[in-house]
Amino acid sequence: MVASPWSVASSGRRRGPELERAILDAALEQLGTVGWNALTMEGVAAGAHTGKAALYRRWPSKADLVAEVLRTRLPPIGEIPDSGSIREELYELCARMRAAMDTRAGQALRAVLHECDHADADRFREVIWDGLHEPARRLIEELIERGIRRGDVRSDADSPLVSDVIPAMLMYRAKVCGSEWRDAEIAELIDQVMMPLLRP
């Protein structure tokens, strides 16, 4: 039996998670090539080889779509293994945060924050907070507690302000200064700022 042309075309259509991945990939590609201001739902739909309706059924606006792209594409920091040294563990954490911001999603996030208006910027700051800043802060708290138990961190160093220093500095340099963290600068941040706060 010969399949009808309609059934062949229909069988090739992407649906559900596969279509959503294609849309998110196309949106990330658009962010990397044309930026936030020039990104359009039409352009994303064309890149994903689907119709605009498929986008609007899932994301009511461009901001909703881009927020989803950044939430799902920013890589997690992951766990930091016990190295026996709070300095080495904090350095590894900083390197991982830098690596996350060097991904296509991280670069797109920085571009969005520089281009978008105030109302949308608040939404994307939430993406930074939920996807990078808060996980890093919680992990730093764990590293400090581990260091206290090990004896290479003083017992009263478990302050929320101390845990905020590294994420705040990395975000400040990325957003306000528009600069990258070199290895020497990460080492200086840890040796000149963090270690004096943490040493027993």
The confidence score (pLDDT) of residue 177 equals: 64
The confidence score (pLDDT) of residue 179 equals: 61
Residues 169, 85 share a domain: yes
Over the chain (200 residues), what is each successive 10-residue block's mean pLDDT? 39 75 95 90 96 95 92 90 96 92 85 77 78 89 96 94 90 68 92 95
Question: Is 7 inside any structural domain?
Answer: no
The SS3 assignment for 200 reads coil
Residues 90, 57 share a domain: no
Q: Which domain holds residue 168?
A: 74-198
What would the pLDDT profile of 25-37 be if each residue is shown by its tens digit? 999 999 988 988 8
Cβ neighbours, 10 Å, residue 182:
10
Residue 75 corresponds to which tokens in the numbers above?
A: 């890589």
The confidence score (pLDDT) of residue 41 equals: 97
pLDDT-above-90 percentage for the chain: 56
Q: What is the CATH number of the domain that holds 61?
A: 1.10.10.60
Amino acid at 172: Y
Say how many domains are in the chain.
2
CB of 109 closer than 8 Å to CB of 129: no
The confidence score (pLDDT) of residue 171 equals: 74
Residues 157, 60 share a domain: no
Burial of 59 (0-12, 13-18, 19+ CB in 10 A): buried
What would the pLDDT profile of 114-153 be if each residue is shown by its tens digit? 787 777 777 777 887 888 888 999 999 999 999 999 999 9
Residues 184, 149 share a domain: yes
Q: What is the CATH number of the domain that holds 80?
A: 1.10.357.10
Residues 136, 37 share a domain: no
Residues 89, 180 share a domain: yes
Question: Is 176 inside any structural domain?
Answer: yes
The confidence score (pLDDT) of residue 109 equals: 81
Residues 45, 88 share a domain: no
Residue 140 corresponds to which tokens in the numbers above?
A: 């730093």
Residues 106, 60 share a domain: no
Residues 180, 93 share a domain: yes
Concatenated DSSP letters for 24-93?
A: HHHHHHHHHHHHHHH--HHHHHHHHTS-HHHHHHH-SSHHHHHHHHHHHHSPP--PPP--S-HHHHHHHH
Rounded distance between C-alpha atoms, residue 65 and residue 175, angstroms: 22
Indicate the pTM of the whole model: 0.79
Residues 37, 98 share a domain: no
Question: Is 50 inside any structural domain?
Answer: yes
Q: Which residue has the tokens 């010969």?
A: 2
Question: Is 118 inside any structural domain?
Answer: yes
Which of 70, 104, 119 terminates a domain? The answer is: 70
